[in-house]
Amino acid sequence: MKILASFVIIYFSWLNVYAQTVPAPASKQIKPIVIQNGRIHVGNGKVIEQGKIIFSEGKITYVGAKDGGVNPATSEIIDATNHDIYPGLIALNNSMGLVELPSVRATRDVQEVGDFNPNIRSCIAYNTDSHIIPTVRANGVAFTQPTPEGGRMPGQSSIMQLDAWNWEDAVYGADLAIHLNWPQKYSRQGGRFEGGALNDSPEYLEDLQELTRYFQEAFAYYNMSKPTVKNLKLEAMKGLFDGSKKLFVDVDIAPCIVDAVEFCKKSKVNCVIVGGGEAYLVSKYLVENNIPVVLGRTQSLPNSDDDEIDKPYTLPGLLHKDGVKFALSIGGNWQPRNLPFQAGQVVSYGLPYEMAIAALTSVPAEIVGLDKRTGTLEVGKDANIVISQGDILDMKSSKVLHLFIQGRDVNLNNKQTDLYKKFSQKYKH
């Protein structure tokens, strides 16, 4: 018994030490803060040299190059000379906060049983005590969209801010999207790493018919004033038909992108294409129908064996040239920390720098319907601001000095910085 008691004490002591690597959320902004002399990237393509930003009570009150009329004696002054200022970055379509260690089943809460689960809310599974989150916000990411996986309709997603005590505090935009994994139209012969011809999938039409019936049933339920029996799954679908939610359709192949958009048009729902590996082949169609795209990871292999090897890198530039509205994203649970560096890489392949910033800030905010609150550094919006010592898109020079979320100065310490500080002492003796 004494041995067991000692083990329990040691175990929980270790847990306590481990938990301390996640900093406590920042306190509310107390007095006005003035950031001056920095290069301001507004997020909509505009740049203000030697600019000034003032925010109070979590809201931006001034952005420009002139004096904002704040009393320096009652304000906190931050000198951003030779520094860059950006809106807080938004990481769409990932599993951060839902998965801690992919190899440990108990830390994965990203999927439910069944094919159709539009009522499942990923936000309630979001883990604000994740040790991954502080490492991601240290690179300027202020918001995430934890996305459910598996099945045909895995559930709903919300926009969460990365500095909160619990999931309720973290919700920035609740249940804004319902996700749909589009059926596979083609199947490839051969194994996973073998080449082979693409053949029509025999199940494609059956899957589409099933999907059509489901949406027809949901629309009929939506038109019922007082349903006799409340159906939680169909209740969740109402948001698609009244416009309060968007359908995020995960699809890559060009013909399937067209099929998905036509399906959404017939179903009278607003859609967003997710992935969009071959979106450049139907860019004109996407522009005509005003369909935005959330691109998947660009640091990946081409979508087709016939594509150029650098197609994932050139894809954002091609879509920008054709006028397609798109956001950059990177999936996974810890990978969003590399989101700004992924954007920096595609800049060298043809995407203008400020458009890359917009693809991480204003465009994702617009896609999820939060552009009146965040995404750009403009008066009246929430003070979601990043100050970087170098180029935030450059892995070698980026060093985030401050991250403000709704005016709160977020603690940027994390497990990795703690380990760096610890082991840097090894060579000082």
pLDDT in tens, 255-304: 999 999 999 999 999 999 999 999 999 999 999 999 999 999 988 888 77
pLDDT on residue 345: 95
CA distance 221 to 273: 26
Domain 22-88+375-413 has CATH 2.30.40.10: yes
Contact call for residues 361 and 88 (beta carbons, < 8 A) = yes
Contact call for residues 195 and 179 (beta carbons, < 8 A) = no
Residue type, 332: G
Asked if pLDDT for residue 15 goes beyond 60, the answer is no
Please count the helices (runs of H) and the strands (runs of E) in the chain. 12, 18
Asked if pLDDT for residue 45 goes beyond 70, the answer is yes
Domain 89-374 has CATH 1.10.1660.10: no
**Res. 3 pLDDT band, cuts 50 70 90:** low
CA distance 309 to 401: 36
CA distance 41 to 36: 13
**Res. 53 pLDDT band, cuts 50 70 90:** very high
How confident is the model over 207-231, as pLDDT tens digits? 999 999 999 999 999 999 888 899 9
**Domain positions in the chain:** 22-88+375-413, 89-374
Asked if pLDDT for residue 176 goes beyond 50, the answer is yes
Environment class of 270 (CB within 10 Å of its CB; exposed 0-12, middle 13-18, buried 19+): middle
Q: Which of 119, 122, 93 is nearest to 108 (CA)?
A: 122
